[in-house]
Chain A
Amino acid sequence: MTRDRIPYAVFTLIVAAAGWYTDNPYYLQTLTFIGINTLLALGLNMLMGYAGQISLGHAAFYGIGAYGTAILTVHWHVSPWLALPGAVAAAMLVACIVGIPTLKLSGYYLGMGTLGFGMIVNILFREWSSVTGGASGFVGIPSLELGPISFSSTKNYFYLVWGFVIFSFILCHRIINSRVGRALRAIHDGEKAAAAVGVDTAKLKLQVFILSAAFSALAGFLYAHMVFFISPESFDFIASIRIVTMVVIGGMASVWGSLIGASLLTLLPEWLHAFSEFEMVVYGLILMIIMIFLPKGLTRGLLDMFERARKNK
């Protein structure tokens, strides 16, 4: 076992232990949501943290994953396990078509292009009611089963989702620490220089956009088969912004940052229920305060604080 595998092995153990010892279905469900959000954040982090390309419309791919599997399994009676590659491929195809013209943009124009795309897809979910169920949502998405294992049990679903998360972590880790990953970071640091040393920036940006769409669609698939009911609000502009926030709050260009950002943004609303009507105010304040005091995100920020504390001793 090489050294860089140790954190992932430890992490796998922690996840397994968490699944083993948690019996409260509410906790299990919350942890499962963290897993789904981690997939979303991880996908966007590949695009934003590593390649430096913003997307304010990623909830669209999340939605395509969820609606894709809903339509395939309910309307077309396809097995969910076939619907998974189907929904992911659909998202990847859309990402390819949208990405080619959109990724030529940069900065705010790229942000706006992806935002516009996200809004249009969301409006499609809402208005194309004969297929998507419209604003009232899509009901009756089946639960997952694999031979004798039923994923309608909260615990099994927890393992399924986190299995995918760990798999995705390893996948991303491998990409990041390769020729492709270096080229991505090169684009982030300077697109002009990257092109000048021979990186096909347009192609690579498109590839990573498609990859991150695939992660989002996977998250959408897992979400749909967990809650059995989906509606357009889960994939709107606010949802896109939430994914961006997870990435930035957790820490850009950090696999673990995605985990931390997703955890915080999943748990925070749960904790803040106690504040009832103050929930939104406190939530907004916390986001602002974290960004004001830890502008590099929680992962980097806390590490830096730890370092400083150690040096001061």
Chain B
Amino acid sequence: MQEFIQYFFSGITNGAIYAVIAIGFSMLYNSTELINFAHGEFVMLGSMCMITFFGSMHLPLIPAIILAIVCVTAAGLLFERLAIRTVKNPEHIVLIIITVGASIFLRGLGMLIWGKDAFSIPPFSSHPPLDIHGAKLLSQSIWIILIFLLTTVGLQLFYKKTLTGKAMEANAISKRAAWIVGIPSRLMVTLAFGLSATMGAVAGVIIAPVTMCSYDMGTMIGLKGFCAAMLGGLGSLWGALIGGFLLGILEAFGVGFVSSGLKDATAFLLLLFILYVRPGGIISSADVKRF
């Protein structure tokens, strides 16, 4: 029982992280029908910024987090402006290769700035872990889940309550219709890139204390997030949440009861299984074609 709860805790902690990353993928997909293969690198940048601002410069926690998120969001906006918007007749596969190029570029940039070493930072607060039936819930896990909740609720409010958010949703549903009622879709795409990078940054910030951060951490975690987004159903925010937690929890039990080498395989086996039995993801939206 104790073991079971322990795995569950680790599952929801990872699940929250995957969910935030998956939301980033889904959000961008909604507005642009594009998968950003550099998304994992934004997570990496978020983590590494935390290493610098919180770990080395010893800024207070909240300013460090905000600064990290602002930096990464700016990088996302810059990426959209310089690389994506400049393509004249964008074909999907071309944009995808551009994001692949960007991921290599950002990884290289990370290596230039932070070197090849792996870093970690202390947890956001030094409370002792909670003890529940002998299983330990680390304080950082609580931070992760709190920030996750804050982010998703914030996002939900943004989409439902603000004009910009509603405009983004409208644009995601139908570009033409949105354009007719005067919503500039160009701007919405930029915004989607920015927000998606923000999600990456948030994920990067919250995992910095629980993982070894290095310039090349983005690939795997990005893939897992992509996996989670697909599991739930690409383009659906609820799908991203479900996919993230499903993946996190199954992976935790995979490590617990099978072997740690199979941890990474769990994600992908699960993915293949879902794709074969329910080709559109758990919450399947309309056909996701393209390429």
Is A241 a contact of B100 with CB atoms below 8 Å? yes
**From residue B36, how far is it (CB to closest CB) to chain A in Å?**
12
**Residue contacts A-B, CB under 8 angstroms, 8 given:** A101-B276, A109-B279, A112-B227, A115-B223, A116-B275, A123-B261, A123-B268, A248-B93
**When the two chains form the complex, which single residue of A101, A123, A281 contacts B264, counting CB atoms closer than 8 Å?**
A123
**Chain A residues with CB below 8 A from B129, complex form:** none
The digit string for B82-98, where 1 denotes a CB below 8 A from any CB of A, is 01001111110110011
Please report which residues of chain A, range 234-265, place their CB below 8 angstroms from some CB of chain B when the two chains form the complex: 237-238, 241, 244-245, 248-249, 252
The number of A-B residue pairs with CB atoms under 8 Å apart is 138
Which chain B positions have C-beta within 8 A of A273? none
Whether A288 lies near B91 (C-beta < 8 A) is no
Question: Nearest 5 pairs between A and B by C-beta?
Answer: A280-B108, A284-B105, A287-B101, A284-B104, A281-B108
Q: Is the CB of B271 within 8 A of A288?
A: no
Partner of B226, one of A112, A113, A249, A288: A112
Closest beta carbon of chain B to A55's beta carbon, Å: 11
B contact face: mostly helix, strand, loop, or mixed: helix
Give the most central of A104, A252, A281: most B CB within 10 Å: A281
Complex Cα distance A104/B267, Å? 21
Known: A101-B276, A112-B226, A238-B219. A284 touches B262 (CB 8 A): no
Query: Are the CB atoms of A278 and B112 closer together than 8 Å?
Result: yes
Q: How many residues of B contact A (CB 8 A)?
A: 50
Give B116's nearest chain A residue, CB to CB. Answer: A277
Q: Are A280 and B111 touching (Cβ within 8 A)?
A: yes
Distance, CA A160 to CA B51, complexed state (A): 51
Query: Do the beta carbons of B105 and A126 come within 8 Å of each other?
Result: no
B177 beta carbon closer than 8 Å to chain A: no
A283 at the A/B interface (Cβ < 8 Å)?
yes
Which candidate, B12-20, B64-72, B118-126, B283-291, is the interface stretch facing chain A? B283-291
Q: Compute how far the CA of A117 lies from the CA of B94 in the bound complex, rounded to whole angstroms.
A: 23
B252-271: which have CB < 8 Å to A? 261-262, 264-265, 267-269, 271
Query: Given known contacts A104-B279, A105-B275, A120-B265, is B291 in contact with A283 (CB within 8 Å)?
Result: no
Q: Is the CB of B265 within 8 A of A112?
A: no
Cβ of A119 and Cβ of B265 under 8 Å apart?
yes
Check if B288 sits within 8 Å of A107, measured CB to CB: yes
Whether the Cβ atoms of B288 and A244 lie closer than 8 Å is: no
B234 CB within 8 Å of chain A: yes
Which residue in A104, A119, A127 is a CB contact (below 8 Å) of B261?
A: A127
The answer to the question of B109 belonging to the interface, with a C-beta cut-off of 8 Å to chain A, is yes
Separation of A52 and B219 alpha carbons in the complex (Å): 26
Indicate whether B153 reaches chain A with its CB closer than 8 angstroms.
no
Bound CA–CA A203/B230 (angstroms): 26
**Bound-state Cα–Cα, A108 to B26, Å:** 12
| Chain B residue at minimal CB-CB distance from A120 | B268
Residues in A neighbouring B102, C-beta threshold 8 A: 284, 288
What is the distance, in angstroms, from A44's C-beta to the closest C-beta of chain B?
12
B262 touches A291 (CB 8 A): no
On whether the beta carbons of B265 and A123 are closer than 8 Å, the reply is: yes
A10 close to B (CB within 8 Å) = no
**In the complex, chain A residues whose CB is within 8 Å of the CB of B197:** none
> Do A295 and B279 touch (CB < 8 A)?
no
Nearest CB of chain A from residue B87's CB, rounded to whole Å: 5
Complex contacts, B83 vs chain A, CB 8 Å: 288, 292
Interchain CB contact under 8 A, B106 and A284: yes
- Residues of chain B contacted by A279 (CB below 8 angstroms): 108
In angstroms, Cα B106 to Cα A158, docked, is: 35
CB distance from B27 to the nearest CB of A (A): 15
